[in-house]
């Protein structure tokens, strides 16, 4: 049976009472504050729950309270929205989404990006190392990742300015500096840390849900030409750090319980500290839209490494977690051509351009292009949850 609510929820919206993602909104009159989305409205939590932690313009204060508080608050919100007797007192705390401005939902402490899709890693290996093994020797022993720049994580709707940088094509004698000509996307899921950990301690895979609050949609923009020239030997830097876009809504882990699945078979078996016995693979479907046309549908269930394993690896050297840490999965790609989560794969490094309905072709992104990523997950009782979307328009490079 689908849980019913007195709040107005359009049929099939994906934002029913089984979802209730958190975000930050600013009404026309008033300061930014925390709310949960229900249908096409947002519930003002500071007013509805009379809790000042939600009067802040970020989720961080609430995230720091920890798992027990997250669960209790979610139960309280569900009870409020499903009790007809509470409608009269709380209907005034609902704001139509069309009448509010949405903001970055939390203050990002650190940002780490992983490389957890075997299909994505294999595709790039075949493109750039055709005469060698597609996967490097360490890939199936640990979740490969890099530490990004937290200050360039932006909310959905923020334009992405084409980055400038140094690049050198194989045919060039010397490098040049200028706007990237191979601007790309990476369709990913992000995981938001709430409860911190102490420096010098580790977080095991079994402790994942005690530290990670929820999930968001991520587009980790990539300037492939800048990246290709700079990344040897220390990995991604300026080709990645100009912008990472996230969705406005953070869906609690508790809401995606029905999406939990086992990861694909991991062989060789990971070392003991990376074994995920609690099945934190996620059956989440992503969608990549370019200028109004869906060009790919990557399946997150195909990801080789689970987010619990990513978190365990990230802290295995004693690195601490902080409230507001964000770590992302890396590009989500499946085994089929129409399931690739980046244009470098979809166009096979530019050799096979995408053709749009108006006849235009794309290898990489052009100025004015609009990219939207969406994600959905199975919910309880056969429902489908929407994890929101992240969208951005490519702006021309600045002089």
Kindly give, in sequence order, each residue whose CB lies less than 8 Å from that of residue 328, ignoring residues fewer than 6 positions away: 111, 112, 113, 114, 188, 189, 190, 191, 218, 220, 244
Q: Within 10 Å of residue 347's Cβ, how many Cβ atoms?
A: 19
Q: Within 10 Å of residue 139's Cβ, how many Cβ atoms?
A: 19
Does the annotation count 248 as an active-site position? no
Ordered domains of the chain (ranges, CATH): 22-103 (2.30.30.230), 111-395 (3.90.850.10)
Ramachandran assignment for 349, one of left (phi > 0), alpha (psi -120 to 50 degrees), beta (any other) = left
Q: Indicate the annotated binding residues.
A: 113, 115, 129, 186, 188, 220, 227, 231, 240, 244, 331
Question: Which phi and psi (to 5°) does residue 243 adopt?
Answer: -170, 140
| Contact status, residue 213 vs residue 253, Cβ threshold 8 Å | yes
Give the separation between CA 211 and CA 24, rounded to whole angstroms. 21
- Cα-Cα-Cα-Cα torsion 246, 384, 263, 188, nearest 10 degrees, comes to -20
Fill in the DSSP letter of residue 241: T
Q: Indicate the annotated binding residues for substrate.
A: 115, 129, 227, 231, 331
| Contact status, residue 210 vs residue 354, Cβ threshold 8 Å | no
| Contact status, residue 344 vs residue 333, Cβ threshold 8 Å | no
Q: Indicate the annotated binding residues for Ca(2+).
A: 113, 186, 188, 220
- Cα-Cα-Cα-Cα torsion 238, 320, 272, 124, nearest 10 degrees, comes to -10
| Contact status, residue 122 vs residue 356, Cβ threshold 8 Å | no
Q: Within 10 Å of residue 324's Cβ, how many Cβ atoms?
A: 22
What average pLDDT score do residues 274-285 get? Answer: 96
What average pLDDT score do residues 364-371 get? Answer: 98
Torsion sign, CA atoms 210, 211, 216, 218: negative
Give the separation between CA 304 and CA 191, rounded to whole angstroms. 16
Please state the pTM of the whole predicted model: 0.97
pLDDT at position 265, please? 96
Distance of CA 87 to the CA centre of its chain: 33
Distance of CA 302 to the CA centre of its chain: 16
Give the separation between CA 319 and CA 197, rounded to whole angstroms. 9
Give the separation between CA 392 and CA 387, rounded to whole angstroms. 17
Encode pLDDT of 349-366 as tens digits. Answer: 999 999 999 999 999 999
Choosing from 41, 120, 211, 313, the catalytic residue is 120
| Contact status, residue 67 vs residue 79, Cβ threshold 8 Å | no
State the chain's mean pLDDT as an integer: 97
Q: Indicate the annotated binding residues for Mg(2+).
A: 220, 240, 244
Give the separation between CA 26 and CA 34, rounded to whole angstroms. 9
Kindly give, in sequence order, each residue whose CB lies less than 8 Å from that of residue 123, ignoring residues fewer than 6 positions away: 134, 333, 340, 345
Task: Assign 41 a pLDDT band (cuts: 50, 70, 90).
Answer: very high
What average pLDDT score do residues 49-59 get? Answer: 98
Of the chain, the percentage scoring pLDDT greater than 70 comes to 99
Encode pLDDT of 112-156 as tens digits. Answer: 999 999 999 999 999 999 999 999 999 999 999 999 999 999 999
Encode pLDDT of 202-259 as tens digits. Answer: 999 999 999 999 999 999 999 999 999 999 999 899 999 999 999 999 999 999 999 9
pLDDT at position 170, please? 86
What average pLDDT score do residues 87-105 get? Answer: 97
Give the separation between CA 182 and CA 52, rounded to whole angstroms. 46
DSSP string, 266-318: -SSPPPGGG--TT--EE--EEEEEETTEEEE--BGGG-SS-HHHHHHHHHTTS
pLDDT at position 2, please? 59
Encode pLDDT of 291-342 as tens digits. Answer: 999 999 999 999 999 999 999 999 999 999 999 999 999 999 999 999 999 9
163-202 residues labelled b (16+ CB within 10 A) or e (exposed): bbbebeeeeeeeeeeebbbbbbbbbbbbbbbbbbbeeeeb
**Residue 182 pLDDT exceeds 80:** yes
Q: Within 10 Å of residue 3's Cβ, how many Cβ atoms?
A: 14
**Residue 174 pLDDT exceeds 80:** yes
């Amino acid at each position: 049976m689908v849980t019913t609510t007195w709040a107005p929820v359009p049929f099939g919206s994906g934002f029913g009472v089984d979802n209730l993602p958190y975000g930050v909104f600013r009404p026309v009159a008033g300061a930014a504050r925390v709310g949960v989305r229900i249908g096409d409205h947002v519930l003002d939590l500071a007013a509805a729950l009379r809790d000042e932690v939600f009067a802040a313009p970020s989720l961080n204060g609430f995230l720091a309270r920890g798992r027990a508080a997250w669960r209790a608050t979610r139960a309280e919100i569900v009870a409020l929205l499903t009790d007809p007797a509470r409608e009269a007192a709380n209907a005034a705390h609902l704001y139509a989404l069309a009448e509010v401005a949405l903001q970055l939902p939390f203050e990002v402490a650190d940002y780490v990006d992983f490389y957890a899709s075997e299909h994505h890693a294999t595709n790039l290996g075949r493109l750039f190392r055709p005469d060698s093994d597609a996967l490097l020797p360490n890939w199936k022993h640990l979740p490969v990742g890099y530490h990004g720049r937290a200050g360039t994580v932006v909310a959905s709707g923020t334009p992405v300015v084409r980055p400038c940088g140094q690049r050198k094509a194989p045919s060039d004698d010397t490098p040049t500096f200028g706007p990237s000509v191979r601007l790309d996307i990476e369709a990913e899921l992000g995981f938001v840390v709430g409860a911190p950990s102490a420096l010098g301690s580790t977080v095991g895979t079994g402790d994942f849900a005690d530290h990670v609050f929820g999930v968001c949609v991520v587009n980790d923009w990539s300037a492939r030409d800048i990246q290709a020239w700079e990344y040897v030997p220390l990995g991604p830097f300026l080709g990645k750090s100009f912008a990472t876009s996230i969705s406005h809504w953070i869906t609690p882990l508790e809401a995606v319980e029905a999406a939990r699945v086992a990861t694909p078979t991991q062989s060789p078996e990971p070392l003991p500290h990376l074994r995920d016995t609690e099945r934190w693979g996620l059956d989440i479907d992503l969608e990549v839209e370019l200028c109004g046309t869906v060009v790919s549908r990557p399946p997150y269930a195909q990801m080789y490494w689970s987010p619990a394993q990513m978190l365990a690896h990230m802290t295995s050297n004693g690195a601490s977690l902080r409230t507001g840490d964000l770590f992302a999965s890396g590009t989500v790609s499946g085994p089929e051509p129409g399931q690739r989560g980046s244009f470098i794969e979809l166009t096979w490094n530019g050799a096979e351009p995408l053709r749009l309905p108006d006849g235009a072709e794309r290898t990489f992104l052009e100025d004015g292009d609009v990219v939207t990523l969406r994600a959905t997950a199975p919910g309880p009782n056969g429902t489908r949850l929407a994890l929101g979307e992240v969208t951005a328009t490519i702006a021309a490079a600045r002089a």
